[in-house]
Amino acid sequence: MSDVKDGKVENNKILQLVGFKIGQEEFGINILAVQEIIKIIDITTVPNASDYIAGVINLRGRIIPIVHLRKRLHLPVIETDKNTRIIVVEIEGKTIGFIVDEVQEVLRISTDITEKPPELVAGVDSEYITAVAKLDNRLLILLDLDKTLANDDLEELNNVASK
């Protein structure tokens, strides 16, 4: 829905996001990309895969490659704990799991509280970030999972899942 305010057209759409944490930073991804969220399960490592690929899991008979989002975003790796989750998403027709420290909530935010990201946010390169949302007393980094994985990465993940 568009409103005219002070001569400018404003498009304040509502975004539905899954909010999760990596370290102290809060991230959000479009809920439409999320298939499911599962607790951490046994991950089978795959030899010669890139270091950010944790391995593969068998999820109800489907082999799904798992990306360690901390490593992909060049953040320090920590041990998994009871809060660690795998967010299973679909990117360009491929099902991929992303390991995150903790899933928090489903959020509905208006696009009018978002703005373009600065060059570097919380040590994460801005090329992976679509926007930053200013919530009451915190910032939410809107992550573009498509951009975190280039075509070469998707091809490698596809190969990993088919081994």
Task: State how far Cα 113 lies from the chain centre.
Answer: 20
Average pLDDT over residues 71-87: 90
Give the model confidence (pLDDT) of 154-163 as tens digits.
677 777 777 6
Percent of the chain with pLDDT over 90: 44
Which residue in 106, 147, 98 sits closest to 126, CA to CA?
147
Whether residue 131 has pLDDT greater than 60 = yes
C-alpha to C-alpha distances, 90 to 6, 61, 93, 132, 154, nearest whole angstrom: 40, 17, 6, 22, 11
3-state DSSP call for residue 61? coil
Q: So what's the pLDDT on residue 95?
A: 92
Whether residue 108 has pLDDT greater than 60 = yes
Residue whose pair of structure tokens reads 């390991």 in the numeric block: 99
Give the predicted TM-score (pTM) of the model.
0.84
Average pLDDT over residues 120-143: 78
Q: Per DSSP, what are the bridge partners of residue 131?
A: 142
Which residue in 19, 20, 64, 70 sits closest to 42, CA to CA?
64
Give the model confidence (pLDDT) of 13-59 as tens digits.
888 999 999 988 899 999 999 999 999 999 999 998 888 999 999 99
Q: CATH class for domain 2-161?
A: mainly beta
Which residue in 69, 65, 66 sits closest to 22, CA to CA?
69
Q: Which amino acid is residue 15, in one-letter code?
A: L
- C-beta separation of 71 from 58 below 8 A: no
